[in-house]
Amino acid sequence: MSSDILSNLSRQSRREPQPVVDGDGPQWDLGLLVAVFMLLGFGVVMLYSASSVMAEMRMGDHYRLLAGQTENIIIGTFACLVALQIDYRWYRRLVYPILGTTTLVLVLVAIPEIGTMEHGARRWLSLGPVGFQPAELAKLTAVIFLAYSISKKGKRMGSFTIGFLPHLFIIGALVALLMLQPDFGTAVMLISLMMILLFVSGAKLSYLFLVSAAGSVVAYFAVSGSEYRMQRILAFLDPWSHRQDIGYQISESLIAIGSAGLGGRGLGEGAGKLGYVPELWNDFIGTIIAEELGIAGIIAVVALFAFVLWRGYRIAFRSIDAFGMYLAFGITSLIALQAMANLFVVTGMLPTKGLTLPFVSFGGTSIIVGLFSIGILLNISRNEPDWWEKRREEREAVREKQRWEKKRQKILKRRDDLSA
């Protein structure tokens, strides 16, 4: 029975998307935008609660991170508005320049003289006073490339050499560059995203299982060959035995969440921000949400993400072309994967990966690229006709009219010759 379900899903994913336009003309999804900005607003409140004590102690200004996040949101909002105005089909036409640019910046960040080292990893490029994290761009680039390639190949996705191997090669190259930083969490995210999109596009399950098995072997050697990663796995399996070293962060997170009870300690009353839980405003912001607002706070965050995912997948399946469908599906799936991974990490269900909670955690590049991605989703939701396709049809109609006119002229000339 499971094979029948998978077969039906694959056949359904290969169908041509049907255009759906509500109202009198193209409209964008206001509900999606409202939900995203609710997450941003919620994140700002929790960010201030999580970072105010640390910012006052280290920087002498308890508003420091709050001000920085506000700037990120303003820039991200501008990026969202720009993306909303750009026809998403431009990304299909610019996919290789985008892929080349992303590859270049990933190479640059790996060069010691150029990339910035923080917390034992080289993941940042410094552009004067501004820091930029190329891994965030790599996520969106992977979605654009996969959407372009899958929509172009169509029914040939069942082929290994045409529908499977090229995607494995390109995403594998991005993953290899990410591992040079190293950024194991983002690398796993890209592989997971590729597997999801290949599955829904109709790639054979045997190929996916083969890559999963090979990926598991590679992941095993990547973890066992790194003392730091091995310690993280051990801390994940038994954080209490490593509470004073590598398991400190996750064990303190679990203590903070467990001590809060169902209703939480109250907004601003959490103890984790007093230095007990490192990176509380960043990767572990879910901890302060659970500690201060209890299960109700976590449920609220999950509900908002669920609404965003519903609207995103709704946009995907209402898209008027295959590229828009896969692009919207990929962006939405990326948000889902990262949100799930982050919340699983702070509750001890996954090893620590260093992934932020989308739209909630502190971060410049992640907020800006995330809001730009939402702008792309909103543009797809407008279901506007393809301007290039319309111009092509108009040119073809003109050429067809010219051909018929030439034929008519020949017939008239022949008739005149016969009558003479």
Break the chain into its structural domains and give their ranges: 29-384
- pLDDT truncated to tens, each residue of the chain (420 aa)? 434 434 444 444 444 444 444 444 457 889 999 999 999 999 999 998 888 878 777 777 778 888 889 999 999 999 999 999 999 999 999 999 999 999 999 998 888 777 777 766 777 787 666 678 889 999 999 999 999 999 988 888 888 888 888 899 999 999 999 988 888 889 889 999 999 999 988 888 888 888 888 878 877 777 776 777 777 777 777 777 666 667 777 777 787 787 777 777 888 777 767 766 777 778 888 888 888 888 888 899 999 999 999 999 999 999 988 999 999 999 999 999 999 999 988 887 888 777 889 999 988 889 999 999 999 999 999 887 665 566 666 677 777 777 887 777 777 777 766 676
Give this prediction's pTM.
Answer: 0.84
* Cα(367)–Cα(41) distance, integer angstroms: 12
Cβ neighbours around 269 below 10 Å, total: 12
Of 363, 361, 369, 362, give the one whose Cα is nearest residue 341.
Answer: 361
Identify whether the C-beta of residue 11 lies closer than 8 Å to the C-beta of residue 210.
Answer: no
* Cα(399)–Cα(60) distance, integer angstroms: 71
